[in-house]
Structure 1
């Protein structure tokens, strides 16, 4: 299959972006795609709140902020985030942890990781990326580009929340976005924990097994619209998830119109060094390759893409040298579902080891 054939396969189909760990912007539509204009292009969908009623183990108070839609107008989108802080008698540590999810999950993924970290004294902020979770979902699928995700995330984290001295915990696409965020604003971060993620430039070969899963899923969901998001999560955990938990992963998406964010991640995969985002990735790596911010990898031994191999990050970022990187046995791609307490313990231990 040629690179062009692969691109055509990806365009306009569903995503299992978690299996690729890379992105690029696709600025124009493929042949035959209809690009809505005017008011239709600016329409933003909001998942009804009733869809989130009674979610198991997710008692967190919702918080919201607004970021620019990015269409040149004054339109905005609402971003949901969790902001949990220690309360008496827990003594605050003074540490802020930013938790970034990937595709097709949302902050619900961290529901069992947040409580022990708060109990240890840390503030936890978990965003829902635009198009995911309780955040708004632009109805124009071509709004979802890599750069637009970066713009939304940067505005939310630094302009609206004004987070500083952050410990970033990033998983899957949360890492592919977050690592560039780190490279562009290193002074805002104290340390980083990367989980089953990476930052590829388009020059590397796609992992054979990961590509197999992705291509199979793309063709399957292309024929069986709509995409059932919980099938993705269930397929890449070693745990057997309760039906109520699976329903929580489906909750943000009442129908296919709400799934453009999930689906479009697939067409953001850089297949060659000529991809639109490659220069931005190259620039990010120029910084990351010199960065001594403490950097920890916590990967799942059963992850279908990495197989627990984190050398693409830990061997090339100076701050990762000598750190107690962990490969968790019995953990698949969504290791927060499989080993949440081990994940939380690794984060807390890393913070305590690297405090000045």
Structure 2
């Protein structure tokens, strides 16, 4: 297991793990839930090889970044935006190409609408939008009460979320053989289990995207690409078409045999789409 974030910096008095790879036009990758920057490990090399300087980081409360003990520290989509802006300042970046996944798309949407001059282009891969989240399965669990999951023994918790993660992909064998244990390690155990609910599940609230949804057309001022798994069970492809219709001039690519964790199922196809899009909008 080789993580792609190896540096740490304080942003708003919280520690953020990040990494910079390659040289060229700046690109930033924003992951979602319940993952980390590790989900970009197969996307990063092709982007670097194509001549881009790629910046990656773990959201606050995720991956190798700080898991704040203080419940007053907000790790919602909305509160992740100033963390992202702080990182841009640390990296010395005035404007960037943004590539996002899942709730990372919510962060990117709010950033792009609030600061369009700082975004060169936007790619959104199987992202949340409108009131598309949480997924039906997660919503049902939240409605039923999370107390049982929060207090479950580690073995039960790990097995429950193993099955949850399997629902993000078509190629379950490859996920099991490659990244499954890494993703589970971040959300299980004495730190990960509590952190998952405090920093992630607690903030599964569509208000963070529905608040800005009326302004989605503004994102069309810059080049926008949507990439979606045809078999996404978390953000079904209908949301891709609705988002595509809402953003004038946006491109939409729907990938067959591909689930919500698209970068696990189809990393080669996604990398090719990213490089092509970035080169056309240099």
CA contact (8 A) 1:189 1:293 kept: yes
Aligned equivalents of 1:308 and 1:205: distance in 2? 11
CA separation of 1:165 and 1:301: change in aligned 2, threshold 3 A: same
Runs of at least 5 residues in structure 1 that lack an aligned partner in the other structure: 1-54, 69-75, 87-93
CA contact (8 A) 1:105 1:233 kept: no
Aligned equivalents of 2:225 and 2:44: distance in 1? 18
Selected match of 2:35 from 92, 100, 105: 105
Match of 2:7 in 1: 63
Size of the alignment, in residue pairs? Answer: 269
Structure (1 or 2) with the greater helix fraction: 2
Question: What TM-score do the two structures reach when normalised by structure 2?
Answer: 0.84
3-state SS, counterpart of residue 170 of structure 2: coil
Q: Is structure 2 residue 235 aligned with structure 1 residue 235?
A: no
Deviations 1:117-152 (A, max 9, x none): 111111111110011111111023442342432332
Q: Computing the radius of gyration over CA atoms, which structure comes out larger, 1 or 2? A: 1
After TM superposition, list the pairs within 5 Å mapping 1:76-91 onto structure 2.
76-86=13-23
CA separation of 1:142 and 1:59: change in aligned 2, threshold 3 A: closer
Aligned equivalents of 1:216 and 1:137: distance in 2? 23
Runs of at least 5 residues in structure 2 that lack an aligned partner in the other structure: none
CA contact (8 A) 1:130 1:261 kept: no
Aligned equivalents of 2:178 and 2:269: distance in 1? 23
Match of 1:221 in 2: 149
CA contact (8 A) 1:139 1:258 kept: no
- Between 108-117 and 261-270, report the one with greater CA deviation: 261-270
Question: What TM-score do the two structures reach when normalised by structure 1?
Answer: 0.68
Q: Is structure 2 residue 222 aligned with structure 1 residue 293?
A: yes
Give the alignment's Cα RMSD to 1 decimal: 2.6
CA separation of 1:152 and 1:206: change in aligned 2, threshold 3 A: closer
Aligned equivalents of 2:204 and 2:168: distance in 1? 19
Q: Is structure 2 residue 279 aligned with structure 1 residue 352?
A: yes
Selected match of 2:184 from 237, 250, 254: 250
CA contact (8 A) 1:131 1:260 kept: no
Match of 1:116 in 2: 46
CA separation of 1:318 and 1:67: change in aligned 2, threshold 3 A: same
Match of 1:164 in 2: 94
Match of 1:29 in 2: none
Selected match of 2:115 from 185, 191, 200: 185
Deviation, 1:299, is 0.4
Selected match of 2:136 from 191, 202, 211: 211
